[in-house]
Structure formats: structure tokens, C-alpha cells
């Protein structure tokens, strides 16, 4: 199927052609005609499927030219994070380049003043995170009573982040008659409930089977001791000459520390997480996209919805606590029609998390063993800390047993080859890796 068979107008097709897209993705094929016909939509689609163009293109067509008189907010797109809001805004800009549409982002963490100025100038499309938008609504800075189209993008993430009440309150300020579109990677009971209340006989679209990962992502697990993960990661990046790697950690502290250590290893890296100001986050993302830093270390929340074109490598430095987050993480690679790899460095503490992920995927992930990084079988699993509770050498959680873990990984430590021996083992890394389909 071609784009020009979807019922889109010439100016939108031109904007699509400018992007170099040849054919619509499955979500675009399914969603665009339904939206153009005015139907509500319930879509199961992850980031990377082309969903943004799937709702933006028909939305722009339906909005048409702004009516005479003051511009009113006629389309509202809610997203879980500011990064996703910025990306969706960029898409509206890209696909609407031959249209007189005016769009803006609204999110927290930055001054409200410039946002109010922009709202007052008149805007057709608002892309917002729920919290800040609600502030504006409550303070009567924005009038949502002309909204004709509502999109909830990554609805599952918004619910995970506790936005449900804000969303419901925002919806109360919208006109009853409007077109609604809900996009979600997963469909929990809560999402179903939200969809039932929000949508009117929606067209249901599912482009990837529920909770399955993109076929094109090659997934591998590297069993490794916790205190050797950083060394293995640096080595993989160096040997593979990887130029753009998104690495996930569980905690903000862990993200900062890893970025710092990678820089010390001579690999340019930056961290992106919720404790960083908007400016720092945007800069980190910009530098990463521009190839100025090779590694972006991110926490789950910060990475949600990030659209980085042609991202070839995603590494789980630590597995997520929530198995669904694994699916989201690896969705950052193999985007629309490209291949990618998702590697997970898994230590003994994380075997349980790995089992949960494999249960969700309904299949085992292939294990790869790197010579020189053999797992020390004497190390017993420990409960996973959430980062702030215990610093190295700090107090252990109640019931936690002290272990010789830290010592074991140090050069010359008990039972572990010393630095020079490890250097010898490292050489072998490039030549062979053992594979087992587990
Ligand atoms: P999304 O799932 O909306 O985040 O889009 C993922 C990526 O796919 C973005 O980088 C888009 O630019 C790209 N994309 C969207 N539609 C197409 C298409 N029809 N063909 C190729 N790439 C696309």
C-alpha cells in the first residue's frame, strides 16, 4: 500500500515524501483511514511503529485551515514526558510544514510565563504533559472548550506515572463531542477502564502482538558479575566500535555514576534522568543525536518515548524491576524498518527479573558468554537495592547478609584473576564468544 491510497491531502503527502518514507507502517495503514472517517481509536502500538505520524497526519487533515477569528486549541495531545511532548511537537511541525497550523508544547520543570504568552497568541494544537496542563487549566490560562480531537499517547506510561486523576480532570474541561484516540503499548485493566469511559465505539487496532518485542530486535543476555558489568560494557563498545548506544540503569545515581565511569574509560557519555533540569536533558539528547556523545545512560522514566533515529544498540546495564519496561526499553532500537540489538548484562541478583521478562515474552532470551567474564558461581544473589538505600560500604538492609562481593571483583581479589590476567582474557573477547540457546 502507498501513502497516497490513505486519503491524505497533497500537502501532507508532500511532507511525508520529504521525510523519505516510502510506504505507510502497519499502524499508519490501519489508523489513518479510521481517524479520517471520524472514528475513535484504541491502538496497541509501541514507540517505533510510526504511531505519531499515524495520528498526526489525519489530525492535521481534519483540522484543516484555522477558522477565521482567534485561534483556539482544537487538538490536544497528552504525553507522559516532556521529551515525548517535544518529539510529538516536532512531528506536528514536520508533517504540518505546508499547513498554517500552530502548535506548542506545555510541560513542567520550566517557567510557565512563556507558555502563557504563547497560549495567548493563539494555538491550534497543544502537546502537553498532564500535570502542567492542569495547572494552566486551573488557573484559567488556557481554554480547552474548543477541543475537537484528543490523543492520549503512551497512555499506559501516563497511568504508571500516576497521571490518571489529572487526565480525568483535564477531560472534564473538554467538550463532550470530540474525537478520541488512545495509544498504549500494553493493555492493563486500568487502561481498558479508561478506554471504556473515554472512547465511543472505537476502531481497535493492534499492530504488534501484546507485550511482544519487535521481530527485528536481536536480543541477547550476557551473564556477568555485577562488579564487572562496567568493564564488559566499555569493552563491548570499544571492540564493536559502537558510536551510539542507549544504556539503561535502574537509578538516577547509577546513571550518573556509569556515565562518569565511561568517560573515565575514554568513552564519551552523558546521563539523562528526572533529577536533571530540562535544559540539561535536552542538551544530553541533542549531543547524543548529533553523535557528540557515544553513550546516553538513561533511567526508564527519562527514556520513555525518546525517538532517536536508527538507534542500533540498546544495553540494559541493569534489568528493570517491571518486566514491561524491558519491552519499552528495547523498543528504542530497530525502529521503523531497521535492525538493532538489545543486550542485557545480567548478574546473579537479576536472574529472577530475567525469568519474569522471559515469562512476559513467552520465550527465553539467548545467552552469550564472553570469555574472561565467567560468572563467579560463589557469589550468591542479593536483594536488589533501589540505589539510594545503600552506598558501597554503607549499612545493609535488615536481614541482608554481608558478602565478600566487593573484594572478589577487585584486582588481585580472592579467587578472581588479577588485572593483567584479565587483560589477557580480554584479548580473547574479540575472537570468540560462546553462544547457547537457553
Ligand atoms: P514513532 O513510533 O511515531 O515514534 O515513529 C518511529 C520512527 O519511525 C520515527 O523516527 C519516524 O520518523 C519513523 N517513521 C514514521 N513513519 C514512517 C514510515 N512510514 N516509514 C519509515 N519511517 C517512518
Q: What is the residue-level pLDDT of the chain in tens, covering all 438 positions?
A: 899 999 999 999 999 999 998 889 889 999 999 999 999 999 988 777 889 999 999 999 999 988 888 999 999 999 999 889 999 999 999 999 999 999 999 999 999 999 999 999 999 999 999 999 999 999 999 999 999 999 999 999 899 889 999 999 999 999 999 999 999 988 888 899 999 999 999 999 987 543 445 556 789 999 999 999 999 999 999 999 999 999 999 999 999 999 999 999 999 999 988 777 778 888 888 899 888 999 999 988 777 656 566 678 999 999 998 888 888 788 777 655 566 889 999 999 999 999 999 988 888 999 999 999 988 888 888 887 654 333 333 333 333 333 333 332 333 333 333 343 343 333 333 333 444 433
Which of 206, 227, 257 is at the close of a domain? 206
Gap from CA of 48 to ligand 1 centroid (Å): 6
- Atom of ligand 1 minimally distant from the CA of 305: 4
Gap from CA of 44 to ligand 1 centroid (Å): 16
Bridge partners, residue 152, by sequence: 78, 182
User: What is the model's pLDDT at position 189?
Assistant: 86
Set of cell numbers at residue 95: 508533517
Set of cell numbers at residue 363: 520465550
Confirm whether 68 is domain-assigned: yes
Same domain (yes/no): 254, 120: no
User: What is the model's pLDDT at position 216?
Assistant: 66
Gap from CA of 254 to ligand 1 centroid (Å): 31
Same domain (yes/no): 89, 8: yes
Gap from CA of 329 to ligand 1 centroid (Å): 17
Per the structure, the count of domains in the chain is 2
Q: 402: how many CB neighbours lie within 10 A of its CB?
A: 8
Confirm whether 330 is domain-assigned: yes
- Atom of ligand 1 minimally distant from the CA of 307: 4
- Using CA positions, which residue lies closest to atom 11 of ligand 1? 50
Same domain (yes/no): 155, 12: yes
Same domain (yes/no): 290, 382: yes
- Atom of ligand 1 minimally distant from the CA of 309: 10
Confirm whether 435 is domain-assigned: no
- Using CA positions, which residue lies closest to atom 16 of ligand 1? 50
User: What is the model's pLDDT at position 386?
Assistant: 56
Set of cell numbers at residue 9: 491531502
- Atom of ligand 1 minimally distant from the CA of 87: 4
Confirm whether 212 is domain-assigned: no
- Atom of ligand 1 minimally distant from the CA of 46: 2
Question: Could you tell me which residues come within 8 angstroms of residue 194 by beta carbon, excluding any fewer than 6 positions away?
Answer: 152, 155, 159, 164, 167, 182
d(CA 407, CA 204): 55
Confirm whether 260 is domain-assigned: yes
d(CA 65, CA 55): 17
- Atom of ligand 1 minimally distant from the CA of 21: 20
The bridge status of strand 125-128 relative to strand 103-106 is parallel
Confirm whether 269 is domain-assigned: yes
Same domain (yes/no): 180, 227: no
Confirm whether 241 is domain-assigned: yes
Gap from CA of 19 to ligand 1 centroid (Å): 9
Which residues form the pocket of ligand 1, taking CB atoms under 6 Å from any ligand atom? 21, 24-25, 28, 47-53, 307, 309, 335-337
Confirm whether 438 is domain-assigned: no
Same domain (yes/no): 195, 222: no
User: What is the model's pLDDT at position 154?
Assistant: 93
Which of 163, 181, 206 is at the close of a domain? 206
Same domain (yes/no): 200, 234: no
Same domain (yes/no): 226, 202: no
**CATH number of 335's domain:** 3.40.50.300
- Using CA positions, which residue lies closest to atom 15 of ligand 1? 50
User: What is the model's pLDDT at position 187?
Assistant: 82
User: What is the model's pLDDT at position 408?
Assistant: 29
Same domain (yes/no): 222, 293: yes
3-state SS, 222-280, equals EECCHHHHHHHHHHHHHHHCCCCEEEECCCHHHHHHHHHHHHHCCCCEEEECCCCCHHH
Gap from CA of 53 to ligand 1 centroid (Å): 7
- Atom of ligand 1 minimally distant from the CA of 22: 20
Same domain (yes/no): 194, 234: no
Gap from CA of 52 to ligand 1 centroid (Å): 7
- Using CA positions, which residue lies closest to atom 6 of ligand 1? 48
User: What is the model's pLDDT at position 381?
Assistant: 86
Range of the domain at 144: 3-206
- Using CA positions, which residue lies closest to atom 21 of ligand 1? 21
Rg (CA), the chain: 24
Same domain (yes/no): 261, 166: no
Set of cell numbers at residue 413: 581479589
Same domain (yes/no): 181, 258: no
Which of 180, 206, 232 is at the close of a domain? 206
Amino acid at each position: 500500500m502507498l501513502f497516497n491510497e490513505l486519503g491524505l491531502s497533497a500537502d501532507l503527502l508532500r511532507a511525508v515524501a520529504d521525510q523519505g518514507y516510502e510506504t505507510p507502517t502497519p499502524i499508519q495503514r490501519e489508523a489513518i483511514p479510521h481517524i479520517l472517517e471520524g472514528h475513535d481509536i484504541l491502538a496497541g502500538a509501541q514507540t517505533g511503529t510510526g504511531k505519531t505520524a499515524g495520528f498526526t497526519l489525519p489530525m492535521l487533515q481534519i483540522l484543516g485551515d484555522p477558522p477565521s477569528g482567534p485561534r483556539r486549541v482544537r487538538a490536544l495531545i497528552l504525553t507522559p514526558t516532556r521529551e515525548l511532548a517535544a518529539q510529538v511537537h516536532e512531528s506536528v511541525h514536520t508533517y504540518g510544514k505546508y499547513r498554517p497550523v500552530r502548535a506548542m508544547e506545555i510541560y513542567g520543570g520550566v517557567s510557565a510565563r512563556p507558555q502563557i504568552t504563547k497560549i495567548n497568541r493563539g494555538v491550534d494544537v497543544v502537546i502537553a504533559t498532564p500535570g502542567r496542563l492542569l495547572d494552566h487549566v486551573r488557573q484559567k490560562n488556557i481554554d480547552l472548550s474548543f477541543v475537537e480531537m484528543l490523543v492520549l499517547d503512551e497512555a499506559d506510561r501516563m497511568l504508571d506515572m500516576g497521571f490518571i486523576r489529572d487526565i480525568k480532570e483535564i477531560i472534564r474541561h473538554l467538550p463532550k463531542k470530540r474525537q478520541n484516540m488512545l495509544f498504549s503499548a500494553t493493555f492493563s485493566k486500568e487502561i481498558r477502564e479508561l478506554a471504556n469511559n473515554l472512547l465511543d465505539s472505537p476502531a481497535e487496532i493492534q499492530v504488534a502482538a501484546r507485550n511482544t518485542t519487535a521481530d527485528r530486535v536481536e536480543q541477547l543476555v550476557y551473564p556477568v558479575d555485577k562488579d564487572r558489568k562496567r568493564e564488559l560494557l566499555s569493552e563491548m563498545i570499544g571492540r564493536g566500535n559502537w558510536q551510539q548506544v542507549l544504556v539503561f540503569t535502574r537509578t538516577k545515581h547509577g546513571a550518573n555514576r556509569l556515565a562518569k565511569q565511561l568517560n573515565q574509560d575514554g568513552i564519551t557519555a552523558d546521563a539523562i534522568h528526572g533529577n536533571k533540569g530540562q535544559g540539561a536533558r535536552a542538551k544530553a539528547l541533542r549531543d547524543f543525536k548529533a553523535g557528540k556523545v557515544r553513550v546516553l545512560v538513561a533511567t526508564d522514566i527519562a527514556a520513555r518515548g525518546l525517538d532517536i533515529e536508527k538507534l542500533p544498540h540498546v544495553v540494559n546495564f541493569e534489568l528493570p524491576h517491571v518486566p514491561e519496561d524491558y519491552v519499552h526499553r528495547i523498543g528504542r532500537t530497530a525502529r521503523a524498518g531497521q535492525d538493532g540489538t538489545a543486550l542485557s548484562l545480567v548478574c546473579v541478583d537479576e536472574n529472577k527479573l530475567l525469568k519474569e521478562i522471559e515469562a512476559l515474552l513467552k520465550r527465553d532470551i539467548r545467552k552469550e558468554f564472553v570469555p574472561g567474564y565467567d560468572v563467579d558461581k560463589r557469589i550468591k544473589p542479593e536483594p536488589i537495592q533501589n540505589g539510594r538505600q545503600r552506598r558501597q560500604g554503607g549499612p545493609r538492609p535488615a536481614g541482608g547478609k554481608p558478602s565478600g562481593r566487593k573484594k572478589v571483583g577487585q584486582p588481585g581479589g580472592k579467587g578472581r584473576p588479577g588485572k593483567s590476567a584479565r587483560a589477557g582474557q580480554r584479548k580473547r573477547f574479540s575472537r570468540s564468544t560462546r553462544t547457547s540457546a537457553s
